[in-house]
Structures are given as C-alpha cells and as structure tokens.
Amino acid sequence: MWAYFKMEFIQFMSNKKNIAIYVILLFFSCYYGLVLAPAYDPIEKVDVSEIEARYLTNEEFLNNVVINDWTHPLTKFAASIYPEWNEYEKERLDAIKQDNLKNYAEATFKWYTYSDNIIFNWGGEILFYNPGYYTYGNDYARMDGHYAYLYSASRYTGYTEGESDLSVNVFEERTALQTLQRLLHSYLPLILIVSCMLFTVDVVLKDRRNTTLLQGLPLSDWRKLLVKGGVSLLGSLLAIIPLTVGLFIICIQMDSVMLNYLFRFIWLAKRYFQI
C-alpha cells in the first residue's frame, strides 16, 4: 500500500495540470502580496490628521460655548458629551505623536467604547459613525458602524492586555497574520476549495489509460480509492506552500509579528542547538 501511495503521489506531483495550479497559486499570492495587500484601505485607520481635526473642532466649540437658559438643547447635549470625548481624543493624539503605542491602544479602546455608546444610544440623526460606512444604498450603515466600533474596541483591549509588539500596521490590520485572518473571512476558502477540486478532478479517471496494468496490482479497489483520497488531501494541503510565499512577502513589507517570531525562533534554535 505504501508503494502504491508513493506511486500515486509522484504521479500527482508530476501531473502538468497540478504543477500549473501550483504555479498559478504562486503567481496569485505574489500578486496579492506585492500589489493588493499594500493597497488595502481600512476605514478605521490610524490617522493623526483625522484625530487632530476632530480634537481641535471640539475643543474650539467647548472653549467658546456659553450655556445659559436660552441655549439650544442640542448645544447643551454637545457641551455635555464633548469634554470626555475630547479627553480621550487628546490622549490618543499625544500618544501617537510621542509614538507611545501602548498608551495609544488604551486611549483608543476608551475612545471607541465611548464613541459607540454615545453615537449608538444618543446619536439618532445628529451623530454619525465614520463616513466610510455610509455608502449608497446601505440602509444598515449605522449597524455596520456599530459593529466596527465595538470590534475595534475589543481589538484595542486585546492590544493593551496582550504581550505582542505593537505597530501602526498591527492597528490597521495589515500584518501577514491579520491579512490571513481577513482573507479567511472572504475568498481564500473558496480559492482553496476550487483548487482542491481542480487538483482531484482526474485522480481516478487517469487510470483508464492503463487499466490492464493497474488491475494487476494486488490491492482492492477500496484501498486504491483510500490511497487516492490520501494523496489528494496531501496534495491539496501542499497548495498552502505557494500561498505562504505571498504571506511572507507581506511579512517583509509590514515588519510583521510573524517575522519577528521567526527571527526569535531562529535565534532560539541557534542558541539551543549551537548551530
């Protein structure tokens, strides 16, 4: 059975169609790593000018507003919510300007929680999420924004509590692992399934060419199919290798956590095994 497995595997790997699929996947992943991944434009960015603009606008309002009996209720409302909001905004701004990412993550977590609380519960028709969510025909932009703010808030708590190295790329979900996670939510599973289908499409039919030869093998049909299944599974799993190349390209560009781990691993290996 082992010999049959080896034979099938060699046939699988030397099949020109399969090589073509591997090469196409390699192409695709390189293209993704070089062109598409750097062009990723998230809505929740680390944008100093945006934070600063919001901070200055609100600060000026707070400095000039006069509250008395004749003030409009909305003005009063604004004057009551902006002080805390701006406090977080200021923390964020100072932290990012001093490049203190831990503090930035902490302030941003507070900012997202507070913003979402205010906008979702009290915002109504006056306060809005980031304009990026309000696309044409999207009736649920509010819910999209709500979800994204809570998601970001939970992300940033993770950054404050976790031990990992922080960078702006981590905040914007651009690192290799985060890209992989994002792709797994979208079309990567589809690509894997389709390539698996293309890999295995002729795994049984190719035997028709040499039936007499193969019928002489001392193996039951059931075992043959089992072995073929195993080979196809292994071959499809190997498709991950060309896809990893793309990830590696993203790693190098985005000074990723993964590369860091890799270097740490190599360093440890060197230390322990005295290579």
Partner 1 sequence: MWKVLKTFFILEKSNKKNMFACMIVAAFVFGLIFFVKTEDLGNSLKEKSGEYQSLSVALNKFQNVDATDNGNGSDLYKNLVVQQQLIAKQRMAVKVDRPEWFLDTALEVVNLRASAFAMDGFDKVASNLPTKTENQLESVFYEHIKKTEVPLSLDSLSFFPFLAYLFGVLGFLWFIFMSIYSCGIMVEDFRHTSLIKGYPITFDKYVIAKCISSMLLVVVFLLELFVCSLPLIYFKGLGDPTYPIAIFNGTFDIYPIYKYIGLALLYMICISIFTILLSVILNVLLKNMYLTLFLELLLFVFPMLFPSMMNFLPFNPFNYMNFSSVLNGQTLDLANPVFLNSIHGLMYIGLSIILMIATVKLFLTTGKLKRV
Residues that bind partner 1 (CB under 8 A): 16-17, 19-20, 23, 27, 31, 34-35, 41, 47, 49-50, 52-54, 56-57, 60, 130-132, 134-137
Range list of β-strands (E), the chain:
none
**Residues 240, 184: contact at Cβ < 8 Å?**
no
| Contact present, 54 and 89 (Cβ < 8 Å) | yes
Check: CB of residue 105 under 8 Å from CB of residue 171. Answer: yes
Give the separation between CA 159 and CA 167, rounded to whole angstroms: 10
Distance CA 56, CA 87 (A): 12
Q: Can you tell me the distance from the alpha carbon of 108 to that of 121, in angstroms, rounded to the nearest whole number?
A: 19
Maximum Cα interatomic distance, the chain, rounded to a whole number of Å: 99
Smaller CB separation from partner 1, 135 or 212: 135
Select from 234, 231, 233, 218 the least CA-distant residue to 1. Answer: 218
CB of 267 vs partner 1, minimal distance in Å: 33
Rank residues 137 and 216 by Cβ distance to partner 1 and give the closer one: 137
Smallest gap from Cβ 89 to partner 1, in A, equals 12
38: left (phi over 0), alpha (psi -120 to 50) or beta: alpha
What residue type is assigned to position 130 of the chain? N
How far does Cα 121 stand from its chain's mean position?
29
Q: Which is nearer to partner 1, 112 or 159 (by Cβ)? A: 112
Question: 135 vs 220, which CB is nearer to partner 1?
Answer: 135
Q: For residues 128 and 151, which CB has a smaller minimum distance to partner 1 in the complex?
A: 128
What's 218's DSSP letter?
A: S
Q: Smallest gap, in angstroms, from Cβ of residue 70 to partner 1? A: 24
The whole-angstrom separation of Cα 93 and Cα 56 is 11
CB of 254 to partner 1, least distance (A): 18
CB of 35 to partner 1, least distance (A): 8
Comparison of 41 and 69: residue with beta carbon closer to partner 1: 41
Asked if 109 contacts 157 with a C-beta cutoff of 8 angstroms, the reply is yes
Beta carbon nearer to partner 1, 34 or 234 = 34
Minimum gap (Å) between residue 92 Cβ and partner 1: 15
Q: How far is the CB of 49 from partner 1 (least distance, A)?
A: 4
